[in-house]
Structure 1
Amino acid sequence: MAKTKPQLPHHPSPPPLSPPHYHHNNNRYKTLFSLSHSLLTRVSNLRASRGDIAGSNRAKVIAQKLERGLGFGLWGLSWSVGWDYAVNYAWSNFDYRELYGAVSEMNELLRFLGELTRSGSEAGRATWIAGNYKNVLRVSQSVLRRLVKVFHQSGPLKETVEIVQREVAEGDLLSDCLQLGGNDLKGLVQIVKDLASQFYSSSSSSTSQDDYNSDL
């Protein structure tokens, strides 16, 4: 006689992230915004100090886009609305392989940035950058390409990633961030990686549960 699966009661899958996570992730978003704004302002000042007024203005424009786009789209009326947006819109129907690859590469990028922040003196940072910049650039560009694919739906997150991607490729944004010491950039990468990892794990669990329930 063929074996049959036990008829377990069907329970709807939980949402990707349950309410207790909201406040924690909203704080992460606040920190992400604050670090981004601070870093871009410092990049703008660094460029202005060496006479690169056009580059300084581009950094200011990115900061303004963050404030207008992400500030309104993610944090406009309340932080919980911002997190709902991220879950239900920006992260919806993403490519699991691209998100997994982005998380893996962000771990590699964090290792690089950890080395930079431990290098100590300005001379030590300059030596480290000279020897490692190509590898850091390669990983950073790969992460950005993956995130553009993850945020495949038009919106402020996708537009922001695309703007940063262009500035890294054409404006030496990464080089400027590294020259400033790497701490702010490391903090940004860590927050994005943590959010991506959390959502990937939660969504994977939800998908597995849905697949199991569909077989019952």
Structure 2
Amino acid sequence: MAIHRLGLSLIILSFLLTPTPPCASALSFYQWRTLLSLSKSLLSRVANARYARGDLSGAARVRDLASHLHLLTGNGGFFSLGWDYVWNYYSTSLELPLEDMTRLAKKVSEVSRAGSKERIALWISENYSDLRQLSESVVQGLLRTFSRSGALRDTVLTMKKEIEEGDLLKDILEVGSKDFVGLLQIGKDLFCSRSPSGSTPESEL
């Protein structure tokens, strides 16, 4: 069994490390690792913030979402997400919502410049509706991209539900807007070379 798992990991890594056409950056193991690290850190802070204010069920949901994002370590997450990507999407062009991701990242970057917690809270209250619409557009674009049943689509659906029902976006903005901008940029860089449109005039933040 261990040999089989090692073989699968080597196959997936060979796909992830295969050179791709020029773009903001190539699909790489380093970027996957950075994406994983930021995701786990950000979701952990959201879960802790919810727990601190007594939202135990909300904290548990975010921890469950984090478990879906274990791309490289733990409980076979790397094998399920990585194999799903290689099997279903690697050989196809991905119609990712790159422009919406860029617009969302630019908007969220304003939060990090707001300063105090009070100003951040005010900025969020004034801009949340627009941010919510942009985030929902990004999620819908990801669902159109990851259209086949599997670990990737399940992860996006879980995220979609938490944004709609649990105000995940608001919590993320409050605890880690800079990291959220970083995640959006890494996501764009990881897959933009797989999108027919490649980079766009709005690619740089």
Give the TM-score range, shorter chain: 0.7 to 0.9
Query: Is 2:184 the counterpart of 1:189?
Result: yes
Q: Say what the alpha-carbon RMSD is for the aligned residues.
A: 2.8
State the 1:33 CA deviation. Answer: 1.1
Specify whether residues 56 and 142 from structure 1 end up closer, same or farther in structure 2 by C-alpha distance, changes over 3 A only.
same
Contact 2:69 2:77 in 1 (8 A): yes
State the 1:117 CA deviation. Answer: 1.1
Unaligned 5+ segments in structure 1 are 1-15, 75-81, 205-216
Query: Is 2:117 the counterpart of 1:122?
Result: yes
Specify whether residues 92 and 19 from structure 1 end up closer, same or farther in structure 2 by C-alpha distance, changes over 3 A only.
closer
Tell me which residue corresponds to 1:60. 63
Pick aligned residue for 2:130 from 128, 135, 151:
135
Pick aligned residue for 2:48 from 45, 66, 77:
45
Contact 1:44 1:59 in 2 (8 A): yes
Query: Is 2:103 the counterpart of 1:108?
Result: yes
Pick aligned residue for 2:80 from 73, 80, 97:
73
TM-score by length of 2: 0.76
Contact 1:91 1:151 in 2 (8 A): no
TM-score by length of 1: 0.72
Tell me which residue corresponds to 2:37. 34
Contact 2:42 2:176 in 1 (8 A): no
State the 1:19 CA deviation. Answer: 2.7
Unaligned 5+ segments in structure 2 are 1-14, 200-205
Distance 1:90 1:34 in 2: 23
Q: Hey, which of these two has a bigger chunk of helix by percent?
A: 1
Larger radius of gyration: 1
1:1-20 superposed matches below 5 A: 19-20=18-19
Runs of at least 4 residues of structure 1 off by over 3 A?
20-24, 84-88, 90-96, 201-204
Distance 1:134 1:192 in 2: 23
Q: Percent identity?
A: 38
Pick aligned residue for 1:177 from 168, 172, 195:
172
State the 1:70 CA deviation. Answer: 3.8
User: Structure 2 counterpart of 1:30, which letter?
Assistant: R
State the 1:65 CA deviation. Answer: 2.7
Distance 1:203 1:184 in 2: 24
User: Alignment length, in residue pairs?
Assistant: 177
Tell me which residue corresponds to 1:6. none
